[in-house]
Structure 1
Amino acid sequence: MAIALSGLTLLFACDERDTYTSYSSTEKNGIASGSISLSNDSVSLEISYSGDIQLNEEGTAVKTISPEGFLKYKKNNKKFSAVSDKQGNITYELSDAGNSPEGDAARNTFIADALREMVVYGFNAKNRLPALYKKGGSAAVLREAAAARTDELRSSYLEFLLKIDSLQQSDLTLIAQMVAGKINGDVEKVKLLQLFRTGYMSDIQTANAALSIAESIHSGLEKTKALELILAQPIMTDEVVRALKINNTISGDLGKMDVLYFLAKKEHQPSEHWIALINATGQLSSELERAKVLEQIATKLPADEPTVKEAFRKVAGTITSPMIAEKVMGAVK
């Protein structure tokens, strides 16, 4: 099947190009059918299919279409149609502004270009992925992800890779970079970040690429989720500091506090992490909110780290209310 959305149609808009795209896919009596359509100021694209359709390994030609199945494509003035009769024989119709390409070479090029266009919009994606990975590894899947024209399709390629146990660390870094730079949706970014398993952030490059994902998220709520996913993993102090700086870009103290609380509840943190957290807490504008986080920090504060306690006292000293300041200092064990 081209799209794994049985019985469901999705309609969404790509803001940067005012592009409207819809996908539909159904299965009836074991026969899959569906459509993909896209329109914006410069492109009108329609893809429809029915039956079991197999492309060659390169994705440049149709190998087989089950009896009475079809594959149709129209992009602006270009049209492609491959229809199978009851015996599985395929008849092609090709047209470019009303003219059919002449000669086998021109016809094959036209078909290859049309199929390639269909693939980058999601046709046959689910079927192609295992063979694509087997032949070219992560690099081949990442190339296809980069060429994909929609978030949904690109995400499906990256999700496929992130579910593989034997990924190289360098591949993880490239995936994180692609999520940060190529995925538009905030929710989709967090969904992919959830697939980064424990230990993936131990590499500095991967951790920084993951932090770039959080940095690229516009929604404060989704940014918080992303930062908590990253901070839940063992990462170096520099990356903790960067995460807290990203957290500081969230609007309002209340928006920032979730991540500060999250980090304050972690056990067995290095003293440098505690100091970074305490200093970030000191940047909250509200004394009351500052005090709340400091009280949470105080419950986990290491007793034998004088530099950490000094940082705590320094930030606690910025609270002007004697009653609140006394309560904060009283929370230190």
Structure 2
Amino acid sequence: MTQPILSIIVPTREGLPEYWIESLLKINGDVELILVHPPGMKKLPISDPRMQQINSSFRGEIIQRMTGLMNASAQYILTVNCDELLHPDIAEITRQYFTKFPDSWVLRLNRKDVTYGDEAGLKSPWETVSNIDEMKTCGVSTGDQNLQDQPNYMVEIPIAPLHNKFDPFCMLRGRKDHHGRHTENFDKKVWKNEMVQATLADIRDAMILSGPFKYFPFWCLDRLLGLSIQAKYYEQGKIIGHILPKPEQIRIEDNPPEYRRTKRFYVFAELLLLKNNPQYGYLWNLILAQFADIPVRAISSINRRLSENKMQKITNG
């Protein structure tokens, strides 16, 4: 088999909607589709030779996503969730972009957010994306940041400013160094797989505490992996990629009520950032600000659970 251009990784859950599966299989070209199911979930009856289905050892975003990532064989890699739809020409879009920018690390897709239940918005026909060879760039290095909302202009993504100085006062007033065009998160972006695999090995090794004892958080790989890649290959001021203009290449539907998004304690995963990269002040500021936010999030979580229990009692009479 020839090496596919793009691996698409999806951690799944039970009850996958039929339209989502159909949309995934409509993606054109030389792609590798990897579904990572939780333990015990039955594999889907799909015969498409481009698809792999794997049952993870445990349920959880980090273990399911990492399992898929480590089984990816394409030149480039993209992770999405099972309520997100991709443009059917995403492989060709990826090929065009990295042919034009072979030194880029990442391509950020233009997204459209869709309200849960809005089938018309979710399933409407996709518009053709302009030829990337004909697009122009704007951003930090060109001085044309005012053109970022214009058609056919890709916006530059600078590397995260990891060299920023340690700021102990961020525990009191929050972070100030995370604003800007740089990216922290990994998901919903196309990355060079070679860089991803090397960084995953670092994260995996960081989870080893001593001998057979491992620290393995179940959630929040997104920012951990995105910043780990940038820390491993850090070059101050480097432009590492671009953001594509409209029309959208990914559609993201709000979670259904039973899977609504809740605030998680990211810090328990992102402590691995500091273990591998203690030299960067930016990462210290990220961790300290999250520790300061733990009491607020804990109270919010308790209040939410109390409210849910109250509503359930009312419903049950």
Normalising by structure 1, report the TM-score.
Answer: 0.20
Instruction: State the structure with bigger RCO (CA 8 A, min sep 6), 1 or 2.
Output: 2
Higher helix share: 1
Rg larger in 1 or in 2?
1
